[in-house]
């Protein structure tokens, strides 16, 4: 296994498809070592950005998930405080474990877009640089399948050891995705 990296599984909930115009409502992060052990967790709800709007299609989806909506709106904190706290958390884990941080997600493009934008906007830096690993792409390569066919319903069942149901709460979903990633890594190394 790769021993010099920690995998930071991220999950966000938002009120629209892009950061800035819309807001990140909550962030969850679970940090895994290469053996699949969780070495750090972070979760916060954020206040909406000033002058941001809500996307109708996204809000229509939220209407179908009232429990998750209520969860992500509980005790929101200013985005700048959340992101400074998140950066300190990540850098503390990196220093303690003396390993590089690699961002992972499912899908990475959506979650990373928000996390990176918020980190740069409110802290001026990202401990991930500007890259991350998409879990579905890794699955596609291991399964030797098309991207479309590399969905969870086509993945081997043993990849879902320790994986819980997707709840649309950010920390739970980050943990779920992190375990999936680590189980796929076991196929590779």
Closest CA to 128 of 9, 11, 21: 9
Which are the contacts of 184, defined by CB distance < 8 A and separation ≥ 6? Answer: 135, 138, 139, 142, 159
Range in 150-154, 160-164, 175-179 with the lowest mean pLDDT: 160-164
Q: Give me 174's structure tokens.
A: 């980050």
Query: In the chain, what are the domains?
Result: 5-188 (3.30.420.10)
- Roughly what angle, to the nearest 10 degrees, separates helices 170-188 and 135-143? 30
Two structure tokens written together for 28: 């969850």
pTM recorded for the entire structure: 0.94
pLDDT at 126: 96
Amino acid 189: pLDDT:
83
Instruction: Report residue 1's pLDDT band, with 50, 70 and 90 as the boundaries.
Output: low
pLDDT surpassing 90 at residue 162: no
């Amino acid at each position: 296994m790769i021993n010099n990296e920690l995998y930071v599984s991220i999950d966000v909930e938002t009120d629209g498809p892009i950061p800035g115009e819309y807001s990140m409502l909550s962030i969850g992060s679970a940090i895994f070592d290469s053996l699949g052990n969780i070495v750090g967790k972070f979760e916060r709800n954020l206040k909406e950005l000033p002058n941001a709007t809500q996307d109708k299609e996204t809000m229509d989806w939220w209407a179908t998930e009232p429990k998750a909506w209520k969860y992500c709106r509980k005790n929101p904190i200013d985005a700048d405080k959340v992101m400074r706290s998140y950066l300190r958390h990540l850098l503390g884990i990196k220093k303690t474990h003396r390993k590089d941080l690699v961002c992972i997600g499912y899908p990475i493009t959506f979650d990373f877009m928000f996390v990176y934008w918020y980190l740069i906007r409110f802290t001026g830096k990202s401990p991930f640089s500007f890259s991350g690993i998409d879990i579905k792409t890794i699955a596609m390569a291991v399964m030797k399948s098309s991207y479309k066919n590399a969905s969870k319903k086509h993945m081997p069942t043993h990849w879902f050891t320790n994986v819980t149901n997707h709840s649309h709460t950010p920390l739970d979903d980050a943990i779920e995705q992190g375990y999936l990633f680590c189980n796929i890594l076991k196929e590779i190394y």
